[in-house]
């Protein structure tokens, strides 16, 4: 699984960071960033789905390589 943020959509609510602080950080501009490469360890899959569901701008893209 891999994640990325569509930066043009991100409005900086930071719901994603609250849902999955291991995967998202806030940048100096107040908008969210993906930590590292965006590759998600299997143990954090639930956190990704929680972050995705809580992003009101649909700014989080999730690529699930199991499908
Ligand atoms: S919840 Fe969505 S819009 Fe808000 S900071 Fe996170 S990615 Fe950006």
Q: How far apart are the first and last CA of the chain?
A: 10
Atom number in ligand 1 closest to CA 11:
3
Structural domain boundaries of the chain? 2-63
Q: How far is the CA of 7 from the centre of ligand 1 (A)?
A: 9
Q: How far is the CA of 59 from the centre of ligand 1 (A)?
A: 6
pLDDT value for 58: 98
Q: Where are the alpha helices (DSSP H) in the chain?
A: 15-19, 45-53
pLDDT value for 67: 58
pLDDT value for 65: 82
Segments of the chain with pLDDT less than 70: 67
Neighbouring CB atoms inside 10 A of 52's CB total 17
Q: How far is the CA of 43 from the centre of ligand 1 (A)?
A: 22
Enter the CATH code of domain 2-63: 3.30.70.20
């Amino acid at each position: 699984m891999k994640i990325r943020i569509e930066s043009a959509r991100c409005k900086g609510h930071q719901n994603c960071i609250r849902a999955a602080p291991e995967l998202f950080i806030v940048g100096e501009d107040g908008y969210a960033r993906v930590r590292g490469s965006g590759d998600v360890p299997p143990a954090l899959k639930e956190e990704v789905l929680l972050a995705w569901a809580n992003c009101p701008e649909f700014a989080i893209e999730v690529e699930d390589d199991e499908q």
